[in-house]
Each structure stands twice: as C-alpha cells, then as structure tokens.
C-alpha cells in the first residue's frame, strides 16, 4: 500500500497525529466530515490480530463492507482512550438497530503486557459489549501503525509519585474511520464531540455505498 498520501494528510496538523501521551489535541473540521479527510482514501490493511477470546481476527475479512472505527490505545490510559470510547458508545446507543449493525468498533491494545484478555474485555464492556478488543505483539502492532502513517506506541515514565513499576504509554490519539468500501477516509482526533459522531456515523455508512 502506498502510504505517502496518508502521511501528507497526517502532516496537516502535527498535534493531531503526533505521538500523544494521552493529552489534549486540537481538531480540524474539513467537510463533509467532522474529522481530517484522508485524500486520496487508502485501502484497509491486511492484518490478523487476536481477540480477547483467543481467536484470530483478520481485520479486512471480518470488517468487509462495514464502517470500521479502529483505535490504538490501552486500558490504563487516563483520558484519551476512555473518552473516545465513551463518546462513540453514547452515540451508538442513539442509532437505529440497522445502523448499529453496520458499524464495527475495534480497540487494539498498545500495552499487551498489562492488557490481558480479561482486563481488555472487561474494560471495553464498560462502554459497549460489542466493542472488539484485539491484541498482538507490540512490534507487529507498531509495524501496522507505521504502515498507515501513525507514530508507534512506546512506554514512558509514570508521573512522580506513581507506584513502583507504573508507566504510561505514548500512543496516537486518533480514531481511524473506514467506510463500507473498505477505504480509510477520515481521522478523528482527541476532542471529537458526541455531536460530531452523531452527524458522521450515519454519513459514513452512506458514503462508501455512494461510491
């Protein structure tokens, strides 16, 4: 996959797609979506993760023809990860059953050392039990992130006064949105509001079908 156009899009705002240690980032709102458009859109990558139940999850095959929201984060994240998941979950509850069936939300851990299958499954269930938790060796997860223009995740020191052995994980703060034609079309940074998701999720469902 030629990722040069993606990198060009990511360069629109360094704070949007730079490595984020779970902190606030500014947002851009180009039309027709409340996110950063990937121009031209890129294909969904071929990659196989492992679900929290231990089964293989070939990304492209499992999500073919669906809106796919892909996020790389970790369960000990203090702000970016839970806020993204909470906002998406809140909006999904307002959609029709038919719309909800057209959307897959995937959370790939960037902290496989601490994010056991049980912890990851329980953490995601707090937001929406349909959210899919995925894991893989960190070097492979980072390889995938680099291939689509995201900075790799890495451990960072915990704040002073934290328990012994504690650490944070610096990671990208964007949700990648693939339309039903399996194209990476929009990037949603930290700060995307529920009203933005409410406007965009139905539009994402329709968008790929029009093309």
Domains of the chain: 4-158+167-210 (3.40.30.10)
For position 194, what pLDDT does the model report? 97
As a whole number, mean pLDDT of residues 120-126 equals 98
For position 207, what pLDDT does the model report? 84
Is residue 40 reached through a cis peptide bond, with omega within 30 degrees of 0 on the bond before it?
yes
Give the whole-angstrom CA distance, residue 134 versus residue 138: 12
Residue 121 tokens read as 């499954």
**Is the predicted pLDDT of residue 155 greater than 70, yes or no?**
yes
Confidence of residue 183 (pLDDT cuts 50, 70, 90): very high
As a whole number, mean pLDDT of residues 132-140 equals 96
For position 158, what pLDDT does the model report? 76
Q: Which residue did the predictor score with more confidence, 19 or 133?
A: 133
Residues in the chain: 211
Give the whole-angstrom CA distance, residue 128 versus residue 48: 22
Output the CA–CA distances (angstroms, integers) from residue 21 to 73, 157, 169, 190, in the order listed: 10, 10, 6, 12
For position 208, what pLDDT does the model report? 61
- Report yes or no: 178 and 68 within 8 Å, Cβ to Cβ: yes
For position 29, what pLDDT does the model report? 40
For position 107, what pLDDT does the model report? 98
Q: What are 67-100's pLDDT values in tens digits?
A: 999 999 999 999 999 999 999 999 999 999 999 9
**Is the predicted pLDDT of residue 122 greater than 70, yes or no?**
yes
Q: What are 27-56's pLDDT values in tens digits?
A: 444 467 999 999 899 999 999 999 999 999
**Is the predicted pLDDT of residue 21 greater than 90, yes or no?**
no
Output the CA–CA distances (angstroms, integers) from residue 171 to 37, 94, 99, 194, 205, in the order listed: 20, 29, 30, 22, 27
């Amino acid at each position: 996959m030629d990722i040069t156009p993606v990198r060009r899009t990511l360069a629109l705002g360094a704070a949007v797609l730079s490595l984020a240690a779970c902190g606030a980032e500014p947002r851009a709102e180009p039309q027709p979506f409340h996110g950063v458009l990937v121009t031209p859109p890129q294909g969904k990558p071929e990659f196989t993760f492992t679900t929290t139940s231990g089964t293989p999850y070939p990304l492209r095959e499992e999500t073919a023809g669906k809106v796919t929201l892909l996020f790389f984060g970790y369960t000990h994240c203090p702000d970016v990860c839970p806020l993204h998941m909470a906002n998406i979950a809140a909006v999904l509850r307002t959609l029709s059953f038919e719309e909800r069936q057209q959307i897959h939300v995937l959370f790939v851990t960037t902290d496989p050392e601490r994010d056991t299958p049980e912890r990851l499954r329980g953490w995601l269930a707090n937001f929406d039990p349909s959210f899919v938790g995925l894991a893989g060796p960190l070097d492979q997860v980072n390889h995938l992130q680099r291939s689509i223009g995201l900075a790799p995740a890495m451990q960072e020191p915990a704040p002073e006064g934290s328990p012994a052995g504690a650490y944070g994980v610096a990671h990208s703060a964007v949700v990648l949105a693939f339309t039903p034609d399996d194209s990476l079309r929009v990037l949603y940074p930290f700060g995307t509001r529920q009203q933005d998701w409410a406007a965009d999720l139905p539009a994402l469902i329709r968008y790929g079908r029009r093309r």
